């Protein structure tokens, strides 16, 4: 059985690597197809499914895991920032407030499909303009939805979370591991390496 992670995110590769090293990372290439006005949580689930199905169509028989993370501020989706000014505005929005991070996951093998969306609430400290500038200077925000990464220097911005931490990082590892086990895709032997 071939296991494919439909993502090249180093964070997702590292996290899936904690449960098995027997997989390959093949990102989906297609454009996002989500109707305007789709709520952020639903968007995360749809995009995860699109990624998994695209890669599964090219690799019949493989088990493909797609995943997508959406940052949701009051129902508005915050994507990756276009530039420094855009990143600054996002961080100003998030400062001193709570938002949601939704990570959708879809597991697809032939006709078999299982998907879920995991949502975690994140509360930021109030940030001064100096703090925001210092964080922008790290370069970390620019490839990340919502302009921060909780697993890096972004840790300094976050007061608390409510939910699964790895959902915020971008891959709800424990839930994926549970589904793989239910599907019998992690052998007992491998399981003992967990």
Binding residue (CB under 8 A) for a second copy from 134, 139, 143, 187: 134
**CB-wise, 133 or 143, nearer to a second copy?**
133
Q: How many residues bind a second copy (CB under 8 A)?
A: 36
Taking alpha carbons only, the member of 26, 30, 23 closest to residue 6 is: 26
Give CA–CA dist 162/189, Å, rounded.
Answer: 33
Give CA–CA dist 144/131, Å, rounded.
Answer: 18
- By CB under 8 A, is residue 17 in contact with a second copy? no
Whether the CB-CB separation of 113 and 106 falls below 8 Å is answered with yes
Give CA–CA dist 49/51, Å, rounded.
Answer: 5
- By CB under 8 A, is residue 130 in contact with a second copy? yes
Give the angle subtended at the CA of 16 by the CAs of 150 and 152, to the nearest 5°: 20
- By CB under 8 A, is residue 150 in contact with a second copy? yes
Contact segment (CB under 8 A) with a second copy among 69-77, 78-86, 99-107, 158-166 equals: 158-166
- By CB under 8 A, is residue 107 in contact with a second copy? no
- By CB under 8 A, is residue 188 in contact with a second copy? yes
Minimum distance between the CB of residue 152 and a second copy, rounded to whole angstroms?
A: 8
- By CB under 8 A, is residue 159 in contact with a second copy? yes
Binding residue (CB under 8 A) for a second copy from 13, 26, 161, 179: 161
Whether the CB-CB separation of 8 and 190 falls below 8 Å is answered with no
Binding residue (CB under 8 A) for a second copy from 76, 174, 182, 187: 174
Other beta carbons within 10 angstroms of residue 39's beta carbon come to 12
Other beta carbons within 10 angstroms of residue 183's beta carbon come to 14
Binding residue (CB under 8 A) for a second copy from 10, 96, 113, 178: 178
Please identify every residue annotated as catalytic: 68
């Amino acid at each position: 059985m071939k296991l494919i992670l439909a993502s090249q995110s180093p964070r997702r590769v590292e996290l899936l690597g904690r449960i098995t090293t027997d997989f390959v990372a093949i990102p989906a290439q297609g454009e996002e197809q989500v109707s305007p006005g789709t709520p952020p949580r639903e968007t995360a689930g749809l995009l995860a499914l699109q990624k998994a199905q695209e890669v599964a169509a090219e690799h019949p028989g493989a088990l493909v895991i797609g995943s997508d993370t959406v940052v949701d501020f009051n129902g508005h989706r915050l994507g990756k920032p276009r530039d420094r000014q855009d990143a600054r505005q996002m961080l100003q929005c998030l400062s001193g407030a709570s938002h949601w991070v939704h990570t959708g996951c879809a597991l697809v093998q032939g006709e078999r499909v299982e998907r879920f969306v995991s949502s975690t609430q994140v509360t930021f400290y109030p940030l001064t303009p100096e703090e925001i500038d210092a964080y922008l200077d790290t370069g970390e925000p620019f490839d990340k939805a919502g302009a921060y990464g909780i697993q890096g220097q972004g840790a300094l911005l976050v007061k608390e979370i409510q939910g699964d931490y790895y959902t915020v990082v971008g891959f709800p590892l424990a839930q994926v591991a549970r589904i793989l086990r239910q599907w019998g895709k992690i052998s007992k032997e491998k399981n003992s390496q967990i």
